Amino acid sequence: MNPFEIITSALEAIKINKLRSTLTALGVIIGVAAIILLISISAGLQNYISAEFEKLGTNSLFIIPGKLEGSFGGGPPRSVNKLTFRIVDRLEREKNPAIVDVSPFIEIAVTARFRNESKVTTMAGAKETYFEEAQVKTNKGRLFTASENKTARRVTVIGPTLAKDLYKGANPIDKDISISGKNFRVIGILEARGNVGGVDADNYLYVPLNSARKLTGADQVNSVVVRTASTEVIPQAKEHIQKILDRSLSEDDYTILSQEQLLSTILQILGVLTAALGGIAAISLIVGGVGISNIMLVSVTERTREIGLRKAVGARPRDILTQFLAEAVILSVSGGAIGVLVGYLGSLAISNFIQTAVPFWAVALGLGFSSAVGIVFGVAPAIRAARLQPIEALRSE
């Protein structure tokens, strides 16, 4: 039997039962469309995150206390945080040309008070360079300066929620605020940023790093951002930092992350998520395959006489096998192709709300998977057809 005959006779058989074939293919259509849609959403999200990181620039390194194992896991409890100012200050003193700026960051829970209003909040101590790094701007007033940090002035920039809660609509600029019992002067109010990394950033108050140290006597650093001269010198900067830190810390006490590493960690998590969602969608494709198997078995039973006749006029078992397998594969592959189209259109529709992208490999995966489903689930009915004895088949009514 030549390939042309195989395909035309399979198409004839599918055409004869139009409604049944359509319903059978529907299972595969839904499965493939779901896979394409989920992948397109996830791919869009990855593109979006990558673009945002690009905006931040790639010439920074992050130092955090403790060992970051694999892709997941948070930092160590505070008691085992060995990243102290005594060690971090050495980075500042022993800067090499690759390192432009060293900016430690601490966070401490405090009580902020204005007259009778008080609120528990988080005080962040940072250098003036932090605001640029983190792309934080003021809405009113100004940010603190390098000299205010150096001289540990008691000034603070507060988040808009905190401002509203403490000052009840009055202008807080140049007003006093009591932080852990010491008076600070409010010099600016930040733009509303909402939820950043799971915390309400609008409730924060920022003070110069040195003021925070003086106020609390804090010894441990939450994180350090190191700006390098360029992206190319990141490896040198990293090596230099390691050399300094290794003098007093073991390698389990800290982790140095680059933007790229952070990005790849996030993308890795997204990848796992995509695979999990894709796996769920693949289950529906398997259900579609069972549908094909079912309908092909019905078809073999219905066409027992036809199979007998074909055998009587000279069809070999493998001719019958190929014919029925071709029907199953054509059903599933055309279902797959329609599913790709439906998934693509769905992703176009969603792209009005969130960024989506249909990568070429997703299309290939959808089509490949659907033809595999056709073969796997079509083979049992086809073998059954091929094994029918010609006289038994001819006798059946």
Partner 1 sequence: MNLVTTSSLTKYYGQEDNRVIALDGVSLKIQKGEFVAIIGPSGSGKSTLMHILGCLDKPTSGSYKFAGEEVSGLSEDSLAQTRNKKIGFIFQSFNLLPRTSALKNVELPLIYTRLKLQESQERARLMLKKVGLEERLDATPAHLSGGQQQRVAIARALVNDPLVVFADEPTGNLDSKTSAQILELFQNLNKEGRTIIMITHETDVAKVAKRIITIKDGKIVKDFKNKPKKMTGEKRKGVV
- Interface ranges with partner 1 (CB under 8 A): 1-2, 4-5, 9, 12, 16, 305-306, 308-319, 389-391, 394
Taking the complex as a whole, the smallest distance from the CB of residue 305 to partner 1 amounts, in Å, to 7
| Segment (H or E) for 184 | strand 182-190
Nearer to partner 1, 13 or 28 (CB): 13
Taking the complex as a whole, the smallest distance from the CB of residue 25 to partner 1 amounts, in Å, to 20
Taking the complex as a whole, the smallest distance from the CB of residue 7 to partner 1 amounts, in Å, to 12
Nearer to partner 1, 28 or 320 (CB): 320
DSSP alpha helix (H) spans, the chain: 3-16, 18-56, 85-93, 130-133, 146-150, 160-167, 209-216, 234-246, 259-302, 304-312, 317-350, 360-387, 390-395
* Displacement of CA 357 from its chain's centroid (Å): 14
Burial (CB count <10 Å: 0-12, 13-18, 19+), residue 229: middle
In the numeric block, which tokens belong to residue 144? Answer: 């603190």
Taking the complex as a whole, the smallest distance from the CB of residue 318 to partner 1 amounts, in Å, to 8
Nearer to partner 1, 200 or 319 (CB): 319
Nearer to partner 1, 5 or 132 (CB): 5
β-bridge mates for residue 105, sequence order: 126, 223
Nearer to partner 1, 315 or 328 (CB): 315
Taking the complex as a whole, the smallest distance from the CB of residue 19 to partner 1 amounts, in Å, to 15
Taking the complex as a whole, the smallest distance from the CB of residue 390 to partner 1 amounts, in Å, to 5
Nearer to partner 1, 74 or 314 (CB): 314
Residues with Cβ < 8 Å from 237, sequence gap 6 or more?
61, 96, 98, 99, 226, 228
Regarding beta strands 176-179 and 199-200, do their DSSP bridges make them parallel or antiparallel, or are they unpaired?
unpaired
Is residue 285 within 8 Å of 36, Cβ to Cβ?
Answer: no
